[in-house]
Amino acid sequence: MTLSADPVARIDRLYVGGEWVSKSQDDPVYEVVSPATGEVVAVAADPTIEDAERAVAAAREAFDNGPWPTLPLAERIAVLSRFCDEFEARKEEFDKAWTTESGPTLAHAGALDAGVVMIWRSLLEQARDLRLAERREVPDGIVDVLREPIGPAVVITAWNGPGLYLAMKLVPALLAGCPVVLKMAQESQLTAALVGEMAEAAGLPKGVLSVLAASTEVSAHLVAHPSIDKVSLTGSIPAGKAVMSACAGRLANVTLELGGKSPAVILDDIPLDDVLPSLVPGFIAFNGQICAALTRVVVPRHRHDEVVAALVERLQAMTVGDPADASSDLGPLASSRQFERVMGYIETGVREGADLVLGGGRPDGLDRGWYVAPTVFANVDPGATIAQEEIFGPVLSVIPYDSLDEAVDIANGTPYGLAASVYASDEELARRVAGRIRAGAVAVNTAGVSLFAPFGGFKQSGFGREFGLEGLAEFLQYKSVKVK
């Protein structure tokens, strides 16, 4: 695939079951719109229900009769190592494709996708020592305990990290021996085509992988399909509930990562110079379009104005502009839908009485594309809409507290429980507070989550874990064979 031969790239084939399926001019298409300009930059074949059926049939056949699930683990590792080689060799092309279709700055795309290679290779290395069969002497005899792939899997990813989701979801599923239908976001047409090309070059066997950047209708069809044994989703709470409902009738295995409303709790004893260098990137990376973004800053009441002023100063200094321009710190939101959503939340914040102290609209001079300036609300009530719901944009709520117990209550006071940060000079105190926060990943005196350790949510942020061997285990099931 090339993006340079034509002002509007054309993708007229789909990677289904390890083969390319050509689509005609009469088949439905999806127009990829640049978030930076609002102009169409690509026209791609839009996967249909029929394509989904073909993909599921290929995965089922590959699991029931193909070699992939029963290959020695070392052989699957070898194939997936070649797949990683292909990703690494074409990383720059992948970065540019992601920037074109979804709007992260090239710097952000490049840094995250470099991390993808590290995560991918780390998992493959850890898996070399994984024991999928173990003989145990038990009180009533001898049992072989086996770990086997669950079955054909649907892996549903979002537009905010198409490379990351390969290492986070796809590789563990394939490594476990599960053939996969990779259902990427409909916006991810360019990166989806590249994933197919990489898989083909790596030599994945027939039927083992299909890549469909498809609509929610196709996604719903895949999730409900009786031939699918496992569904792994990254998405919203409503999407997670829909997946659970669709899988309940056949009791299909489900892993859900459903976003967050992550707090940064600042305690009274720490200088802001020790907080801001990680807190600000932890909030604003990819314009807040990250599930673990620190979008609530919980501060001692007497330090509220100091914290707000420091945040405003840092965020005002950032350049919002063309994501392909190296001078841009921030690019646009990913789509017109995201733009309208974020602007709606900003209007709600103002209407409910929070103090808008920065941003709130388009940056000056950026009249096309989906740009929103970094936005800060001060004196936010913990129960306000903007403090309770995931906005997925550059909107920060600063919430004052009067006691440590109140700070913990505020941190835990949303339906989410994905990530959090605690900042304190007294590290032991920070660790104790971290232990009281109901979130799957908590950072002490920094921001972000480890991409090499188990990651997942509490409460309505979902269940199951990703990354590391725990992420691989989500696609395996135990079998006991009594031999004596």
To 5 degrees, how large is the angle CA 32–CA 48–CA 63? 115
Please say whether the beta carbons of 198 and 116 come within 8 A. no
Distance CA 44, CA 48 (A): 12
Please say whether the beta carbons of 437 and 111 come within 8 A. no
Confirm whether 39 is a catalytic residue.
Answer: no
Confirm whether 291 is a catalytic residue.
Answer: yes
Distance CA 193, CA 433 (A): 45
Please say whether the beta carbons of 320 and 329 come within 8 A. yes
How many residues are given for the chain? 484
Matching residue, tokens 């599923």 = 173
Question: Which amino acid, 76?
Answer: R
Adjacency order of strands within the sheet including 262-266: 355-358, 375-378, 395-401, 294-300, 262-266, 419-423, 441-444
**Pick from 91, 262, 259, 236: which is nearest to 164 by CA?**
91
The catalytically annotated residue of 257, 390, 466, 474 is 257
**Pick from 87, 372, 297: which is nearest to 204 by CA?**
87
The catalytically annotated residue of 247, 291, 466, 474 is 291
Distance CA 20, CA 197 (A): 9
Distance CA 174, CA 180 (A): 7
The conformation of residue 273, written as its DSSP 8-state character, comes to G
Q: Which conformational region is residue 251 in: left (phi greater than 0), alpha (psi within -120 to 50 degrees), or beta?
A: left
Secondary structure (H, E, C), 418-466: CEEEEECCCHHHHHHHHHHCCCCEEEECCCCCCCCCCECCCHHHEECCE
**Pick from 225, 229, 223, 228: which is nearest to 242 by CA?**
223
**Pick from 364, 368, 62: which is nearest to 229 by CA?**
62
- Residues marked active site are found at 257, 291
